[in-house]
Amino acid sequence: MFTGLIADLGRVQALERDAGGVTITIATALAGEVALGDSVAVNGVCLTATQVNGASFQAQAMQETLRRSVLESLQVGTPVNLELALRADGRLGGHIVQGHVDGTGVVAAIREEGFARVLDIDTEGPLARYLVEKGSVGVDGVSLTISALRESGFSVSLIPETLERTNLGQAQVGTRVNLEVDILAKHVERLMEARL
């Protein structure tokens, strides 16, 4: 489990693609805290560390992961949001994030609003029904509050700290992002379907 609070902005160091998926090597200051087999959220996708050295770690993304996320579009040098799994004695400062991406979205518009930057994100697929104004959403692994709902998606307002510490500060119109909706909303929907 994760919180959506980004611990480091890593950088893709190498990519090895084959029929099975892609092996990603990520340079990060967190590498010293990662052990073999640890879960690490990479742009919101929970991946398992398969190799670790002092300055980087490797993880593999299988085809299912590539279909549901934007990891397929990573290139060497791409900055990625990183978060280590939440420890049982840790503080839940963001919201409950599983690292199980539900789908993707596209940044449709960007505007400055005071010291905040507002991103309008169009959702792909049936994710809109899980979104509520002032509810939580994971965007590339970042725990954010939905500031407004739109017909084609939603908006989030980013403070300078988020812009500086995550790859969302580099987002442009057309940037594709991973989205994880609130797990509680999905459970409620499933339970209601069973009752009806």
What's residue 9's pLDDT?
97
What's residue 148's pLDDT?
97
Please provide residue 149's backbone torsions phi and psi, each rounded to the nearest 5 degrees: -100, 145
What's residue 46's pLDDT?
97
What's residue 114's pLDDT?
97
What's residue 185's pLDDT?
74
> Could you give the 3-state DSSP secondary structure of residue 118?
strand
Please give the helix or strand (H or E) that residue 85 lies within, else none. Answer: none
Domains 8-84 and 103-195 share a fold: yes
CATH topology of domain 103-195: Elongation Factor Tu (Ef-tu); domain 3 (2.40.30)
Domain segments of the chain: what residues?
Answer: 8-84, 103-195
Residue-wise pLDDT tens for the chain (196 aa)?
A: 898 999 999 999 999 999 999 999 999 999 999 999 999 999 999 999 999 998 999 999 999 999 999 999 999 999 999 999 988 787 777 788 888 999 999 999 999 999 999 999 999 778 988 899 999 999 999 999 999 999 899 999 999 999 999 999 999 999 999 999 987 777 777 788 777 6
What's residue 125's pLDDT?
74
What's residue 89's pLDDT?
80
- Enumerate residues 6+ apart whose C-beta is below 8 A from 19: none
What ranges in 8-166 are assigned the alpha helix state H?
63-68, 160-165
Find where tokens 């499933």 sit: 190
* CATH of segment(s) 8-84: 2.40.30.20
pTM of this prediction exceeds 0.75: yes
Contact yes or no for 47/100 (Cβ under 8 A): no
